[in-house]
Amino acid sequence: MSDGRMRLGLFLQGAGHHVAGWRHPEAQSGGENLPLIRRITETAEAGKFDLVFLADGLTTGTDAHPSTVARLEPLVMLSALAMATRRIGLAATASTTYGEPFHVARVFASLDHVSGGRAAWNAVTTSYARSAANFSRGEHPPHDERYAIAEEFLHVVRGLWDSFDDGAIIQDKASGHYVRQGAIHTLDHVGKYFSVKGPLNVSRPPQGHPVVIQAGSSAPGQRLAARSADVVFTAQQTLEEGRAFTQGLKRQVREAGRSSEEVLVMPGLCPVIGSTEAEARALYAELQGGIDPAAAIRLLSDRLGHDVSGYDLDGPLPELPDSDQLQSRARLLTDLARKQQLSLRELYYLVAGARGHRIVWGTPVQVADALEEWFRAGAADGFNIMPPFFPTQFERFVDGVLPILRERGLFRSDYEGETLRENLGLPRPAGRQAGWRVTA
Amino acid sequence: MSDGRMRLGLFLQGAGHHVAGWRHPEAQSGGENLPLIRRITETAEAGKFDLVFLADGLTTGTDAHPSTVARLEPLVMLSALAMATRRIGLAATASTTYGEPFHVARVFASLDHVSGGRAAWNAVTTSYARSAANFSRGEHPPHDERYAIAEEFLHVVRGLWDSFDDGAIIQDKASGHYVRQGAIHTLDHVGKYFSVKGPLNVSRPPQGHPVVIQAGSSAPGQRLAARSADVVFTAQQTLEEGRAFTQGLKRQVREAGRSSEEVLVMPGLCPVIGSTEAEARALYAELQGGIDPAAAIRLLSDRLGHDVSGYDLDGPLPELPDSDQLQSRARLLTDLARKQQLSLRELYYLVAGARGHRIVWGTPVQVADALEEWFRAGAADGFNIMPPFFPTQFERFVDGVLPILRERGLFRSDYEGETLRENLGLPRPAGRQAGWRVTA
């Protein structure tokens, strides 16, 4: 972050982030609505956002948030969007628990090629135990084991990305050499969870390695991020917590032998924007009024990892055992409920807004102030913007908030580089040519 | 095939189909060369081809064909091409041995949505045993077991595609119902190889089911195709064999209770085109002259499933045990060598041309004649065109051969429908609404 500017991602959800956002008269929605998602992405690129980000899940979330009912597979969606855009980063979620390192390495390397170096992988361990039933698995691995698998998975994927030296494919018609001799390497990985020989059948990505994002904020999640991630998404409610998390993570990054500037922390933020503060408050109230209480309780149960539908809505959050599925997100909510003495109803209103992420309502100036305050305090390197609904609320952010941030020297007027790494200010990983066994 | 017209697919290979095609002065190549592949696809669409087809493998084929050294993951490639095209079908290969039905169902459903109903899945069992080492598997399953897995895999994928009723997502702002009640169904599949609960988290594809292609010509491959495929790719060298295969398969289709018009048989064909027959022969000789004999022997060994590098090049094909990897393709080659008494050198020249597929060289009229003869004789419903190199040899096919086929009433002048199924004349599968357990 040596240029003193914040990074911005757009967290794309087909039905918006507020659980009832899609019901707003201005809202358009659909996780499979390519024209809408294309329009939003083009708006983000016109605004010089660093990236658009697609979350994902491996079950239908019919009981929780409309954005999770149906959504196109993120790599398919982003490969299509790669053709409609030129500079914006394209970040997709893929699971380390229900995928194969070879496939994951390959699709992200492929997206990096198709997009000219704009791919990012949000590596997740898949929270929901019900996912196992879609993958012929008897059991969902417990939380800490999922992170141990993820660490090895990431190691294998990074190794596979280095299968080809840069410039390995020479296509020399005269000599008949399609590939430079000795430029393709096996990985020969044999570990606890994976055995992957390699090489990958895609040449080295334009970025060397696509950008790796990590979004778990539990202790194992932070350790993994400190060792392996380029960008960290997180949910933080207060400035103090945000600063403690960001500074704590940067310390772990340095302890892992990396520079703290090599990892960017980007908390989620849901901006509810009006021309006046009163208009923004009224909009937020209108959104909250659209919530179906039964659906909100299902969503809250989903985020807590425990069914809370039987409890008194105006009573306190009941005592719950730790969730093995959603450690950091569930803890964020339970801590918040205890500290602010929220009733179950207040807590589900909060979750309905942005699933535990920070919500800011106000004028464009007030939203810009909120971003600036955290950025200057070292609580964030940037933000993952989560509009309550699309497309108008996002357009108000781009048209209203970004010019103010630019005036203050806090956000770019144009892209600095060609690749996502260049725009994020992250180094291109060197290949591992030396010492590898040569197979071709 | 009630309209009396042949179907045409373009078999896209980054380095062309002839093993030395990429060395031709006019050739451009690269399995990761998006601008080239986009140009070729646009040419195919301008020619009103039914589809472009991407083969795939899960290892680097550095020892065999330059097209297999590095190639972008097919779904990523086709999702990008979906944005550059409007009507042509987009067919990708995905393995039933090294994939998960949930992922495969989802990516093809997603491609079908992104392309407006133009997706096709070439379901393969993955021939090469060396693939196992990239997927933490000790053993590559034997041939017949791979087909048993494939059959169950296909059943699950088709079931998952029916998870949502057509029109399930209603987004009714007034009532707050995002999804129509009772319109999303679990699959609850429990089989020998897979347990998949569902529902899929993608709504029903525009085509109902993306087109399913099968490319194995062994007995289990034909049985699978007869029960489950919409299109069959095959390699056939002579008219008699082509007719026997096509008519035999159609008989099996009828025995499986389907109409023989519901399955289209499309053999591969490599057209080497010149302005005169002499020019075409000279071009073919030039291509054959570019072959590196050591590489050709590796390619032949690869296709036979046995290393033949130690044998006398001018002697006959040695006796070889059956290959468990490549049953039908290896048998095609060994049968051909025996019948035509080919030396090892002659056999590798043949394989170098189009890997065992039929090669036709001549003028545009001669190529059109060759297509017409097989089509009228019932040896093919259409062809999978395999140009020896790109882009000029393919452009000669589109500009030279297609007008002749049109004159003869054998090929369309414009697309008949919007979706690939409509253009192929295949019915849209009904959903399975009745009798399924309702979950939402």
**Residue-wise DSSP of B136-154:** T-S-PPPHHHHHHHHHHHH
8 A C-beta contact, residue A293 and residue A301: no
Put simply, whether A29 touches B (Cβ < 8 Å) is yes
Instruction: Say what the pLDDT of residue A368 is.
Output: 98
Residue B231 backbone phi and psi in degrees, to 5? -135, 140
Instruction: Label residue A319 exposed, middle or buried (CB < 10 Å: 0-12, 13-18, 19+).
Output: exposed
Which residue is closest to B110 within chain A, CA to CA?
A: A72
Distance of alpha carbon B322 from alpha carbon B324, whole angstroms: 6
Nearest to B22 among A171, A198, A201 (CB): A171
What is the pairing mode between strands A119-124 and B7-12?
unpaired
Instruction: Say what the pLDDT of residue A2 is.
Output: 56
Distance of alpha carbon B43 from alpha carbon B48, whole angstroms: 9
8 A C-beta contact, residue B321 and residue B307: no
Nearest to B195 among A25, A136, A201 (CB): A136
Distance of alpha carbon A4 from alpha carbon A97, whole angstroms: 37
Stretch 98-157 of chain A: residues touching chain B, C-beta under 8 Å:
98-100, 102-103, 106-107, 109-111, 113-114, 133-136
Q: Suggest the residue from A38, A41, A60 to mutate for an interface test with chain B (most B CBs closer than 10 A).
A: A60
Put simply, whether A438 touches B (Cβ < 8 Å) is no
- Residues of B in Cβ contact (< 8 Å) with A34: 113-114
Written as one string, the DSSP assignment of B161-201 is HTSBPTT-EEEETTTTEEE-TT-BB---EE-SS-EE----S
8 A C-beta contact, residue B29 and residue B66: yes
Nearest to A102 among B68, B109, B134 (CB): B134
Separation in Å, CA of B248 to nearest CA in chain A: 36
Hey, are the CB atoms on B66 and A178 less than 8 Å from each other? yes
Q: Where are the domains positioned within chain A?
A: 7-275+357-424
Which alpha helices (DSSP H) does B209-316 contain, by range? 219-228, 239-255, 277-289, 293-304
Put simply, whether B276 touches A (Cβ < 8 Å) is no
CATH architecture label of A7-275+357-424: Alpha-Beta Barrel (3.20)
Stretch 318-347 of chain B: residues touching chain A, C-beta under 8 Å:
none
Which helix (H) or strand (E) segment holds residue A153: the answer is helix A143-161
Put simply, whether B61 touches A (Cβ < 8 Å) is yes
Separation in Å, CA of B98 to nearest CA in chain A: 9
Distance of CA B177 to the CA centre of its chain: 41
Stretch 346-375 of chain A: residues touching chain B, C-beta under 8 Å:
none
A209-238, pLDDT tens digit by residue? Answer: 999 999 978 899 999 999 999 999 999 999
Put simply, whether A84 touches B (Cβ < 8 Å) is yes
Which residue is closest to B107 within chain A, CA to CA?
A: A73
- Residues of B in Cβ contact (< 8 Å) with A190: none
Put simply, whether A184 touches B (Cβ < 8 Å) is yes
8 A C-beta contact, residue A423 and residue A45: no
Tokens encoding B370: 């060759």
pLDDT tens for chain B, 440 residues: list them. Answer: 458 899 999 999 999 999 999 999 999 999 999 999 999 999 999 999 999 999 999 998 766 788 889 999 999 999 999 999 999 999 999 999 999 999 999 999 999 999 999 999 999 998 888 999 999 998 999 999 999 999 999 999 999 999 999 999 999 999 999 999 999 999 999 999 999 999 999 999 999 999 999 997 889 999 999 999 999 999 999 999 999 999 999 999 999 999 999 999 999 999 999 999 999 999 999 999 999 888 888 888 888 888 888 899 899 988 887 777 666 778 888 888 888 899 988 888 888 888 889 999 999 999 999 999 999 999 999 999 999 999 999 999 999 999 999 999 999 999 999 999 999 999 999 887 644 333 33
Hey, are the CB atoms on B114 and A77 less than 8 Å from each other? yes
Task: List, as residue ranges, the binding site of B for FMN.
Answer: 56, 93, 143, 147, 217-218
Q: Suggest the residue from B23, B107, B136 to mutate for an interface test with chain A (most A CBs closer than 10 A).
A: B136
Instruction: Say what the pLDDT of residue A1 is.
Output: 47
CATH architecture label of B7-277+358-424: Alpha-Beta Barrel (3.20)
Which helix (H) or strand (E) segment holds residue B332: the answer is helix B327-339
Distance of CA B172 to the CA centre of its chain: 41
Instruction: Say what the pLDDT of residue B323 is.
Output: 72
Nearest to B178 among A22, A195, A198 (CB): A22
Average pLDDT per consecutive 10 residues, chain A (440 residues; last block may be shorter):
86 94 96 96 98 94 82 97 98 96 98 98 91 93 94 97 96 94 94 97 97 91 94 95 96 96 97 98 95 85 86 88 73 86 88 88 98 98 98 98 98 97 95 49
Which alpha helices (DSSP H) does A4-119 contain, by range? 34-46, 74-84, 101-115
Written as one string, the DSSP assignment of A401-417 is IHHHHHHTT-S-SS-S-
8 A C-beta contact, residue B353 and residue B270: yes
Instruction: Say what the pLDDT of residue A268 is.
Output: 97
Count other C-beta atoms under 10 Å from residue A399's C-beta. 14
Which alpha helices (DSSP H) does A256-380 contain, by range? 277-289, 293-304, 327-339, 344-354, 364-376
Distance of alpha carbon B48 from alpha carbon A420, whole angstroms: 37
